[in-house]
């Protein structure tokens, strides 16, 4: 039996690894092109035009008029598109992957400050931006709903369901509270958080007759294709979307926002290619954000720490234009075993831009509250926080009663606790000091649902023995290029350095949105299927070729290793793929593959797991917090690629530190504008803010979930991390802050 330590160091089962990231050289040398950097094929650079998106300056009301006289005569202006002259569209609302209310200049209604209300197209970006500033806009302003806290009493249930019911209940919560020896009854709040990928949103659009082409910064090329086809009433085959590289998305690029269709509209109006790239400040409002949450938690336990009941009630903000549910109580339904459990989600309508998916939507904010409350319960019980979690360890899904596909969270606790030096933790807060520094330790559980969707792929084997793998997925920096090469190489029996990867084109085999931590789990089996089909064709060619040393063999007795076909028995004859194909007319071998979730997928509950431990220091005089170390161990099934996997987990933890200490979007309650809509004032962690991050994975395959044994890891890293840091701050100072982020002023209060 393999020990935990051996599992931690075991190689991935999927394939031999590339010596470096497939896309690494292209990115560091500047050869990788992002959406805004492309030249339109067969179009001179001088014929490119540039659009600037004009935004409203009121939060609620309507546009009375837009005086374009001065802008019409400005240098280089080609078109000014407003609600008063915009082409009428058959379907102004986009659909996949969620219903997005986008502003496409089809009416004069204004629902939030920053809403797109016009587009100026000019020969240069500078000319477009200058002309936009010349527009004279008159509004009929109406009172706006802007103060979330003042509107909490108006909270209502969601109008449309999420992936699970908004409310759930099992057992007797009131009875559990009455029987409990210890109760935690607290409220935790998290602010609006904005996606700030290195690459802002951008689209280049051009028409070729009735066909429209786009380069778009997206996480879902097939979704953009469907959205544009529906919006402009086009056949799907009349839309092509390309995105070979996405410079981060984190959920914001999972939907086609207003600027995408506006670029297509503008290109049709001026009959030339149009580039519409958002400014950094335009990333606050028109392209979504994580909604604000107020989370009320009640935990009741007996004197031994056994949870008798958990109640988690969530209130979030939602736009007056569209409901978006941040399901912050979802993990509370399944993470710990308890006699009774109740969760609810309510919404407060405000005049903000539509909220959207942000890395680990729901679990990222939900674990902040739940894992902080667990720490408070442990403190009241005078119980070790790890022991409390183990006392309530769920051996099956408490919410559904289904067995897990795989779960080794207990090993995660053990390994991460050892690496952080958990035994040094003093359970009494404020007892460890190093001069003026207060030292504290905290921990939390990480979890995220394992998702998988249907996907397709194709593999081509070339006469020289090299191969190409294609899939219409996207690489947001997560490593899709690299793992695609690995999957194809493993299936074909060749070195991954011999595989060319093509992705990011809607004409390639379809894959799901690159979100929900599902890309590797979805496309991996499809690529494996395509590679297997191609491999069988190669073997069939060999055994049917009288000139091959494998002629007449049974297919099951032939294997391909390192690019050579050979009999499975020792000493059997062999030949290379290249030799075989050259002898047979230098032909290429092509095969298509597909994969879907297992037929019995609904019989199990599939999640990834992790344990996050943090060590912090807090200056006793300035109350500045420094995260010294984070040790985390994850149970994510098979680790497909150590480098890209580590990048994902470390990046998630860094973001968790951001949630704990820095990130917050502030909306002015008078005018409704984001007051810190830039990276100077929207604070995110930088290198100097991050200490040692020590990440390991168990690497235990979960073959009940998919044939590769791999679950996604893009989002689990952010979960639990903020609570671990917050719990460590409490251990260091004795001050419990429940309003995130935990800034020095809150520690001083």
Could you tell me where the beta strands, DSSP code E, fall in 4-60?
A: 49-55
Pairing between β-strand 607-619 and β-strand 625-635 as defined by DSSP bridges: antiparallel
C-alpha to C-alpha distances, 103 to 125, 207, 352, nearest whole angstrom: 22, 21, 13
Which residue in the list 127, 376, 617, 715 is annotated as catalytic?
715
Which tokens hold the place of 268?
A: 């049709």
Backbone φ and ψ of 317, nearest 5° = -85, 150
Give bridge partners of residue 234 from the DSSP assignment.
none
Which tokens hold the place of 612?
A: 């996050």
Q: Are 173 and 294 in contact (CB under 8 A)?
A: no
Backbone φ and ψ of 540, nearest 5° = -60, -40
Other CB atoms within a 10 A radius of the CB of residue 88 amount to 8
Classify residue 435 as left (phi > 0), alpha (psi -120 to 50) or beta. left
C-alpha to C-alpha distances, 341 to 127, 305, 312, 447, nearest whole angstrom: 59, 16, 8, 18
**Tokens 């500045």 -> residue:** 624
Q: Which 3 state secondary structure label does DSSP give 712?
A: coil
Which tokens hold the place of 103?
A: 């502003």
Q: What is the largest CA-CA distance in the chain?
A: 86
CA pair distance 181, 178, nearest whole angstrom: 9
C-alpha to C-alpha distances, 310 to 16, 185, 335, nearest whole angstrom: 45, 10, 11
Tell me the CB-side half-sphere exposure of residue 402, using CA atoms within 13 A: 14
388-412 in b/e form (b: 16+ CB < 10 A) is bbebbebeebbbeeeebbbbbbbbb
Give bridge partners of residue 208 from the DSSP assignment.
211
Q: What is the 3-state secondary structure (H, E, C) of 621-657?
A: CCCCEEEEEEEEEEECECCCCHHHHHHHHHHHHHHHH
Task: Collect all residues with Cβ–Cβ distance below 8 Å to 277 and sequence separation of at least 6.
Answer: 35, 36, 125, 200, 201, 202, 203
Q: Which 3 state secondary structure label does DSSP give 212?
A: strand
Nearest to 370 by CA among 291, 300, 296: 296
Catalytic (active site) residue 387: no
124-146 in b/e form (b: 16+ CB < 10 A) is ebebbbbbbebbebebeeeebbb
Which tokens hold the place of 353?
A: 């831009």
Provide the CA 52 distance to its chain's centre, in angstroms. Answer: 28
Give bridge partners of residue 730 from the DSSP assignment.
none
Point out the residues that are catalytic: 715
């Amino acid at each position: 039996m393999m020990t935990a330590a051996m599992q931690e160091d075991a190689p991935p089962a999927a394939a031999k690894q590339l010596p470096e990231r497939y896309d690494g050289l292209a990115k560091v040398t500047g050869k990788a092109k992002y959406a805004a950097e492309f030249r339109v094929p067969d179009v001179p650079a001088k014929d490119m035009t540039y659009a600037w998106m004009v935004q409203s300056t009121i939060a609620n009301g309507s546009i009375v008029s837009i005086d374009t006289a001065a802008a019409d005569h400005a240098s280089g202006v080609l078109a000014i598109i407003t609600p008063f002259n915009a082409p009428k569209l058959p379907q102004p609302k986009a659909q996949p992957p969620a219903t997005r209310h986008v502003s496409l200049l089809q009416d004069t209604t204004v629902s939030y400050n920053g809403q797109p209300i016009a587009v100026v197209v000019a020969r240069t970006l500078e000319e477009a931006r200058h002309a936009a500033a010349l527009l004279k806009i008159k509004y009929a302003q109406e009172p706006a709903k802007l103060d979330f806290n003042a509107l909490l009493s108006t909270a209502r249930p969601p109008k449309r369901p999420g992936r699970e019911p908004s409310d759930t209940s099992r057992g007797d919560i009131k009875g559990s509270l009455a029987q409990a020896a210890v109760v935690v009854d607290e409220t935790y709040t998290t602010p609006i958080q904005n996606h700030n990928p290195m690459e802002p949103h951008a689209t280049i659009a051009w028409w070729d007759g009735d066909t429209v082409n786009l380069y778009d910064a997206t996480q879902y090329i097939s979704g953009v294709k469907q959205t544009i086809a529906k919006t402009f009433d086009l056949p799907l085959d009349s839309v092509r979307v390309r995105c070979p590289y996405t410079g981060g998305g984190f959920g914001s690029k999972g939907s086609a926002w207003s600027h995408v269709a506006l670029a297509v509209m503008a290109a049709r109006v001026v009959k030339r290619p149009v580039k519409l790239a958002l400014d950094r400040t335009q990333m606050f409002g028109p392209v979504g954000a994580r909604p604000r949450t107020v989370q009320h938690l009640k935990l009741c336990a007996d004197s031994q720490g056994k949870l008798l009941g958990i109640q988690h009630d969530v209130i979030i903000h939602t736009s007056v234009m569209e409901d978006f549910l941040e399901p912050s109580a979802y993990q509370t339904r399944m993470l710990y075993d308890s006699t009774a459990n109740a969760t609810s989600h309510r919404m407060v309508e405000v005049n903000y831009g539509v909220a959207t998916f942000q890395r680990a939507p729901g679990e990222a904010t939900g674990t902040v509250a739940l894992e902080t409350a667990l720490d408070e319960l442990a403190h009241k019980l005078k119980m070790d926080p790890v022991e409390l979690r183990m006392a309530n360890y769920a051996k099956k899904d408490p919410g559904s009663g289904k067995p897990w596909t795989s779960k080794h969270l207990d090993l995660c606790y053990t390994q991460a606790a050892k690496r952080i030096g958990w035994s040094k933790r003093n359970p009494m807060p404020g007892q460890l000091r190093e001069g003026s520094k207060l030292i504290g330790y905290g921990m939390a559980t990480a979890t995220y649902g394992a998702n998988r969707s249907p996907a397709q792929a194709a593999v081509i084997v070339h006469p020289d023995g090299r191969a190409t793998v294609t899939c219409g997925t996207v690489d947001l920096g997560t490593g899709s290029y690299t793992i695609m090469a690995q999957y194809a190489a493993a299936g074909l029996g060749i070195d991954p350095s011999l595989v060319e990867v093509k992705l990011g084109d809607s004409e390639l085999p379809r894959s799901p949105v690159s979100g929900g931590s599902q890309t590797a789990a979805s496309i991996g089996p499809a690529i494996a299927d395509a590679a297997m089909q191609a491999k069988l064709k190669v073997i069939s060619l060999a055994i049917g070729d009288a000139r091959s040393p494998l002629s007449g063999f049974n297919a099951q007795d032939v294997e391909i290793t390192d690019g050579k076909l050979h009999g499975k028995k020792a000493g059997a004859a062999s030949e290379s793929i290249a030799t075989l194909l050259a002898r047979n007319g230098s032909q290429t071998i092509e095969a298509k593959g597909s994969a879907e979730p297992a037929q019995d997928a609904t019989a199990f509950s599939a999640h990834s797991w992790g344990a996050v431990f943090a060590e912090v220091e807090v200056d006793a005089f300035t109350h500045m917090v420094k995260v010294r170390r984070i040790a985390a161990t994850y149970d994510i099934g098979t680790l497909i690629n150590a480098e890209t996997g580590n990048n994902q987990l470390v990046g998630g933890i860094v973001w968790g530190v951001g949630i704990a200490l820095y990130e917050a979007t502030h909306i002015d309650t008078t005018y409704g504008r984001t007051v810190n809509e830039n990276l100077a004032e929207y604070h995110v962690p930088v290198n100097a803010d991050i200490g040692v991050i020590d990440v390991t994975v168990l690497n235990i395959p979960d073959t009940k979930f998919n044939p590769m044994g791999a679950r996604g890891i893009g989002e689990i890293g952010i979960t639990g991390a903020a609570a671990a840091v917050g719990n460590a701050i409490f251990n260091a100072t004795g001050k419990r802050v429940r309003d995130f982020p935990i800034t020095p002023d809150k520690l001083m209060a």
